Amino acid sequence: MPPGNKKYLILNGHYYETGRPILTSENRAFRYGDGLFETIRCHKTVPLFFEEHYDRLLRGMATLKLTTAGLPPVHVLKEHIEKLIVRNRIFYDARIRLSVFRRDGGLYTPETNSPAWLLEAFPLPDKGYHLNQEGIRIGLFTNYPKTWTLTAAYKTLSCTPSILAGIHKNENHWDDCLIVNQDRKIIESISSNLFWVKNKVIHTPTLSSGCVDGIMRRQIFKFAKDSGIQVKECSGTTKEELMEAEEIFLSNSVSGIRWVVAMENKRFFNRLPKQIERWLNEKIKSVVPG
Q: Which CATH number do you get for residue 162?
A: 3.20.10.10
Instruction: Flag whether 129 is in a domain.
Output: no
> pLDDT tens digits, the chain, 290 residues: what are they?
455 689 999 999 999 999 999 999 999 999 999 999 999 999 999 999 999 999 999 999 999 999 998 899 999 999 999 999 999 999 989 999 999 999 999 999 999 999 999 999 999 998 999 999 999 999 999 999 999 999 999 999 999 999 999 999 999 999 999 999 999 999 999 999 999 999 999 999 999 999 999 999 999 999 999 999 999 999 999 999 999 999 999 999 999 999 999 999 999 999 999 999 999 999 998 888 66
For the stretch 111-155, pLDDT in tens is 999 999 999 999 999 899 999 999 999 999 999 999 999 999 999
**Domain range enclosing 260:** 136-287
178 within domain boundaries: yes
Q: Do 194 and 119 reside in the same domain of the chain?
A: no
Question: Do 104 and 234 belong to one domain?
Answer: no
**Domain co-membership, 280 together with 148:** yes
- State how far the Cα of 50 lies from the Cα of 92, in Å rounded to an integer: 18
For residues 10 and 32, what is the distance between their CA atoms, to the nearest angstrom? 22
Q: Same domain, yes or no, for 169 and 226?
A: yes
Same domain, yes or no: 83 and 153? no
Report how far residue 14's alpha carbon sits from residue 20's, in angstroms, rounded to the nearest whole number: 13
